[in-house]
Each structure stands twice: as C-alpha cells, then as structure tokens.
C-alpha cells in the first residue's frame, strides 16, 4: 500500500509496474540484434548438433511409442534451447536437477545415446535399472539427478544441494528446472525463500512453455510474468527468450558466474513453447488452438539457430544434410541395440535400496519369485 496526499492508504494496482522485457540476442529470423556471448565455434557447433540430435531422436521415439514398442515418451520439440544452453554454459562438475524436458543436457555432456534410449525401454541397459518412468533420464556420470513426476519437488532439492556445496566451500553450481505450473507449488516458495535467505549458489530456471499440461499459464497464476515472482524472495531475475539459445546461454552463464562468485541464486524465466503434446499420452487438440501452435512454429529454436550458424559461416547446408543422415544412422543403431537388451534382473527390485534389506521385503520377494 501507499499513502496518498490526503493521508489515506490506497492499494497499488497489480499492473502499475512495467512488465519485464524479454531478453533476446537473435530475432526470429536468426539475425543478431544484440551482442552475442563469447562462445568458441567448436562449442557453437556442438550446441547446434545436440539440438538437431534431440529433435530427430524425439521424432523417432514418438514413432516407437505409436508402434507400441515403448509405453510412454515426453518429447521436448520446441524447447531444445534451454537445456542445451544450460549444459553449455555450466561446467561439467555442476549439477542439474531436471524436470521433464531437460534430458538433452546429458547428451550434450557426452552421455551414451544407447544408454539414454535404454532408459525409455526400462531394460537392463538402463543405469537406473528400469525403476523410473520413461523420459526420466539421470546419471551421476554427467551430474544429472533423477527426477520424480511430483511437480516441483526437484526445486528445493537443487537449492539444498547448493546449500551443501556452500557449507563445504565447494564452488559448484546447481540448476533446478521447472515448468510454469511448478511456480504455483509450495516447493517453489520453499526453495526460492531458502535460496534468497541463504544466498545459495543455484540457478532456478522456469521453462515457461505456456501450458501446465492442459492449463494455460493465465489459468494458474495472476502474476503478469513468472519472472517477477522472484521479487518477493529478494532474488535477481531475468525474462529471457527461451527459443533463442544465445540469449539463454548468456543469461545462464551470467547467473552461474554470480553463483560461483558467492553472490547467490538467480531466477530465470525462459519463455518458450511446447510445440507437441505434453507427452505421448496427451492430445493437445482438445484444449489448445492450433493457430497458436502455427505462430510459435515461426519461432522454432532449431531453425532460428540454424539460420544464425549458416549466416555466420559456422555451418553449411552440405554439413546439414550429412549430419542429419549421420545422426539418423546413430539413432537407428542405438535403438536397435537398446531394444535388444533383456529386462533387468529380478533382484534389481530390492538391491541397492537398503543397507540391509528388511525381512518383510525379503519374504515378499521370495514368495513372488
């Protein structure tokens, strides 16, 4: 509230503040409209190739799901830029606490494509032994933590890990991803409040893809932007074009540098769009106007980055054709190898969960066998 000239108290309307601008480096045609972050050409090429890989992989895995060869899949079509920008901007020792659409960060960090696909099949080649839903990849070898489907639970985990690192005087950075719907959860409040109070070395990233499954953003929050929610917790924030991989990289790199320098947490809203369905179990035509999808396809992050790469001489159309063919072959080979893996051993149901397996579980396991 503010005090008027007459001394009476008056409420401040929620729309008196200017809406934060969306930070961009590239326009929708891939042209530079701001200074590009300093990224060596080899890294730019790696970023682009990983974006292309996950786009082609998602297309293939959705086909497998429709054929009944896998049970579930969550594609990230249209949202490739944020996780890959994150992996590129961080150091390999930093930790990522993902939501549903950040698995590609593992591939950027060098995780095996075959093992990545094995997780979708839930077979013996899966490092998590088939215990997780498909598209919930994780592995300690690339510092990516397992994600649960309970919305928002990974946010306080990311902040807690950052707090532990700070106590140990380890300058590692943690990243906690979330969707726009997660910002209406209690875990979001708990995490940002703790991060603000204790200045944890964390980056909290909301991929605002405009839909919490079938609920549009305006249907689950009255805040004008997701970004400004950070104000209540005393955190610096930015609203970034999440379909612009260079803008995303710049914002995440700045936040990582702040965290590593002991300046605390940052909250980023990366504005993007879920081109496809929420998952293979969803039909967005029931709740979403297709005209909206058509408009967002014009901002396709892969096409946009491709135009930048070619215009700057970092990529050629010949390389595009050859790389697509090579990646398609790699994907097909990885799928074939993954699909040939046997089911996990029965013992994996109860091993390495307890130091000593409880007697009742041992008995149940023996009866079941």
What residues are annotated to the active site? 274, 278, 287
Q: Which of 343, 249, 327, 244 is nearest to 49 (CA)?
A: 327
* Cα-based angle 236, 241, 245 (whole degrees, multiple of 5): 105
**CA within 13 Å, CB half, 319:** 12
Closest residue by Cα to residue 242 from 60, 72, 51, 9 = 51
């Amino acid at each position: 509230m503010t005090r008027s000239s007459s001394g009476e108290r008056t409420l401040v309307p929620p729309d008196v503040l200017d809406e934060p601008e969306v930070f961009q480096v590239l326009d929708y045609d891939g042209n530079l409209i701001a200074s590009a972050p300093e990224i060596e050409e080899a890294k730019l090429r790696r970023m682009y190739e990983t974006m292309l890989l996950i786009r082609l992989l998602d297309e293939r895995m959705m086909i497998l799901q429709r054929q009944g060869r896998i049970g579930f899949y969550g594609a990230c079509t249209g949202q490739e830029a944020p996780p890959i920008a994150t992996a590129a901007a961080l150091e390999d020792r930093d930790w990522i606490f993902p939501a549903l659409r950040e698995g590609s960060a593992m591939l950027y960090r060098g995780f095996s494509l075959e093992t990545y696909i094995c997780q979708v099949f839930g077979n013996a080649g899966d490092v998590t032994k088939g215990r997780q839903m498909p598209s919930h990849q994780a592995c300690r070898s690339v510092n990516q933590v397992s994600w649960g489907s309970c919305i928002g639970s990974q946010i306080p985990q990311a902040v807690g890990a950052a707090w532990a690192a700070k106590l140990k005087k380890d300058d590692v950075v943690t990243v906690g991803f979330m969707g726009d719907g997660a910002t209406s959860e209690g875990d979001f409040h708990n995490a940002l409040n703790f991060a603000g109070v204790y200045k944890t070395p964390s980056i909290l990233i909301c991929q605002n893809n405009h839909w919490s499954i079938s609920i549009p953003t305006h249907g689950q929050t009255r805040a004008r932007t997701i970004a400004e929610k950070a104000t209540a917790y005393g955190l610096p924030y930015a609203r970034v074009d999440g379909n612009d991989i260079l803008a995303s990289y710049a914002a995440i790199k700045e936040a990582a540098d702040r965290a590593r320098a002991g300046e605390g947490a940052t909250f980023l809203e990366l504005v993007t769009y879920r081109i496809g369905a929420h998952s293979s179990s969803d039909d967005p035509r029931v709740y979403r106007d297709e005209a909206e999808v058509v408009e967002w396809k014009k901002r396709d992050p892969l096409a946009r980055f491709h135009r930048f790469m070619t215009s700057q001489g970092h990529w050629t159309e010949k390389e595009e054709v050859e790389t697509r063919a090579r990646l398609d072959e790699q994907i097909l080979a990885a799928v074939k190898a993954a699909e040939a893996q046997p089911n996990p051993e029965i013992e994996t149901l109860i091993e390495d969960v307890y130091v000593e397996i409880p007697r009742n579980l041992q008995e149940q396991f023996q009866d079941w066998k």
